[in-house]
Structure 1
Amino acid sequence: MTRTSETFDRVLNTGAAWALALIWVLPLAYAVWTAFHPAAYEARFELFAPLTLENFSKAWDAAPFARYFLNTFILVTMILAGQFFLCTLAAFAFARFEFPGRNILFALVLLQLLVMPDILMVENYKTMRLLNLVDTIPAIALPYIASGFGIFLLRQTFMTIPKELDEAARIEGASFLGVLWKVYIPLAKPTYLAYGLVSVSHHWNNFLWPLIVTNSVETRPVTVGLSIFSAIDSGIEWSVINAATLMTSGPLLIAFLLFQRQFVQSFMRAGIK
């Protein structure tokens, strides 16, 4: 490849990256602009336009966002705790135990990654109705408690841990669960952090299944609450709607900015490209 060709490829790739960045940033910039400025500045830009937090106050007062945030926090915590527990035990078994049919069972776990969750919504709803759990937070959480991706990610991490550490812990009298708790889990903390960010982000933003299975304010997460707020309050300014949108997405953005280095490093250590 000639030097001219390499330069052209670099310029082309850089231009494409900038174009994609602008496509992503411009709507966010507009949302931030309108959220922090009076409604009169929704469609015009002025360098010294007055800043205000009134839009956030209006949005907070116009809908029960406190309840929506509480429901969402309970939901993502419930799902993440269940996933950590089940995925840890399953990943440890697949990584360290030899038993008949292990590879077949692991293939079935990976098969879950190929199944779109939307395909199972009708059957999941029938199951929740039979369990009398419709319009409850557990009904939103139960279909996601087990995660094929979480099992795969932790298994990859556990397999990189030397077996000599198992033997040393066993000599000291530790049980299998003791080895898992004292050796594997501490060494896999970066992976837990990365998976936790993925899980919380996904279920914080999940919309369709919570919309189907919930009917009341007492159980709706913040995404469903935001959509209903935007739909029924048609008289509210775009600046207020954008302020509500920033309120719902802000915690995730802050969490990612704080832990982005650990997030990337954990996937690299797990051998995932």
Structure 2
Amino acid sequence: MLESVGAALLAILWILPLAYATWAAFHSSEFTTRFELLAPLTLENFHRAWVAAPFARYFLNTFVLVSLILSFQMVLGTLAAYALARYEFRGRNVAFALILAQLMIMPDVLIVENYRTMSWLGIVDTIPAIALPYIASAFGIFLLRQTFKTVPKELDDAARVEGASGLQILLKVYVPLARPIYVAYGLVSVSYHWNNFLWPLIITNSVEARPLTVGLQVFSSSDQGVDWAIICAATLMTSAPLLIGFLLFQRQFVQSFMRAGIR
């Protein structure tokens, strides 16, 4: 009973800001500070928000950025996790300890050094500069390594008897068995990098490289004051892909995390 009440309270705290943003986005500015049941609906706020900023470019940048990061994280995380879980080599425990240590470091602590590195590489104000510090995920490596260690070694031996190489064993045995973990981690990664703000703000200066979250600041820096109706409309457009994705794949989302916890 207590758990249900707590869950209900958290749900209310989460849904109230979304409800307000939805209300304000579909009504004129005069109704952002007062509620009127029969207030007329309008789509004008979405049109004004869309033409006030290059949202098409922001959406494209964000999609490319998230896809780039997730692709590298999956490939590098899989290879590193498989090596740490199944291969014996000198320094393996030290390498894994360093990966665990990275989990305890806030990404914001490394912003200055990351910026200096991107500047040295000459890629400041580009999408690769936003993605590069995140292409290897300590959390993803740890999660996959723990999952791979639960796979019976007898499956390795059986595959080798059939003539499979190490890479084939990884792709045909380990990866399919860890599919729920990939789904769970993929959802977390996409959500985090879709909403990431501070690092893209610092490393980019132009529309050509900025993602959606940074583009939203255009509406809060207007000389004519803050128009909450337009800000809410822009926020809904920014968060809509994640909300729609969650609603469509809610069952897979929950099941993936349940399986990840069981493993």
Say which of 184, 196, 199 aligns to 2:189.
199
User: How far has the Cα of 1:211 moved from its partner?
Assistant: 0.5
Aligned length: 263
| 1:69-95 deviations in Å (ceiling 9; x for gaps) | 100111111111110110000011111
- The answer as to whether partners of 1:88 and 1:151 remain within 8 angstroms in 2 is yes
Is 1:223 aligned with 2:192?
A: no
User: How far has the Cα of 1:217 moved from its partner?
Assistant: 0.4
- The answer as to whether partners of 1:156 and 1:271 remain within 8 angstroms in 2 is no
Q: Which moved more, 1:204-213 or 1:30-39?
A: 30-39
User: How far has the Cα of 1:239 moved from its partner?
Assistant: 1.1
- The answer as to whether partners of 1:139 and 1:213 remain within 8 angstroms in 2 is yes
Equivalence for 1:150: 140
Equivalence for 1:18: 8
Identical counterparts, % of pairs: 70
Equivalence for 1:263: 253
Q: Which letter maps to 2:29?
A: A
Equivalence for 2:125: 135
Give secondary structure in 1 for the equivalent of 2:258: helix
CA–CA distance in 1 between the matches of 2:122 and 2:262?
40
Give secondary structure in 2 for the equivalent of 1:232: coil
Aligned-residue Cα RMSD (Å) equals 1.8
User: How far has the Cα of 1:101 moved from its partner?
Assistant: 2.5
Equivalence for 1:166: 156
| 1:22-56 deviations in Å (ceiling 9; x for gaps) | 22221111100011122232222232332222211
User: How far has the Cα of 1:123 moved from its partner?
Assistant: 0.5
- The answer as to whether partners of 2:53 and 2:218 remain within 8 angstroms in 1 is no
User: How far has the Cα of 1:108 moved from its partner?
Assistant: 0.9
Equivalence for 1:63: 53
Tell me: CA distance 1:233–1:147, structure 2 relative to 1, closer, same or farther (3 Å).
farther
Equivalence for 1:41: 31
Structure 1 gap ranges (5+): 1-9
Structure 2 gap ranges (5+): none
- The answer as to whether partners of 1:71 and 1:221 remain within 8 angstroms in 2 is yes
- The answer as to whether partners of 1:134 and 1:214 remain within 8 angstroms in 2 is yes
Equivalence for 1:114: 104
User: How far has the Cα of 1:162 moved from its partner?
Assistant: 2.0
* Length-normalised TM-score, structure 2: 0.93
Equivalence for 1:7: none
Q: Which moved more, 1:196-205 or 1:236-245?
A: 236-245
- The answer as to whether partners of 1:210 and 1:220 remain within 8 angstroms in 2 is yes
Q: Which letter maps to 2:193?
A: H
CA–CA distance in 1 between the matches of 2:26 and 2:193?
27
Q: Which moved more, 1:161-170 or 1:62-71?
A: 161-170
Equivalence for 2:172: 182
CA–CA distance in 2 between the matches of 1:161 and 1:235?
58
Say which of 110, 113, 116 aligns to 1:123.
113
Equivalence for 1:72: 62
Give secondary structure in 2 for the equivalent of 1:119: helix
- The answer as to whether partners of 2:219 and 2:226 remain within 8 angstroms in 1 is no
Equivalence for 1:32: 22
CA–CA distance in 1 between the matches of 2:246 and 2:161?
41
User: How far has the Cα of 1:234 moved from its partner?
Assistant: 4.1
* Length-normalised TM-score, structure 1: 0.90
Tell me: CA distance 1:214–1:171, structure 2 relative to 1, closer, same or farther (3 Å).
same
Q: Which letter maps to 1:56?
A: F
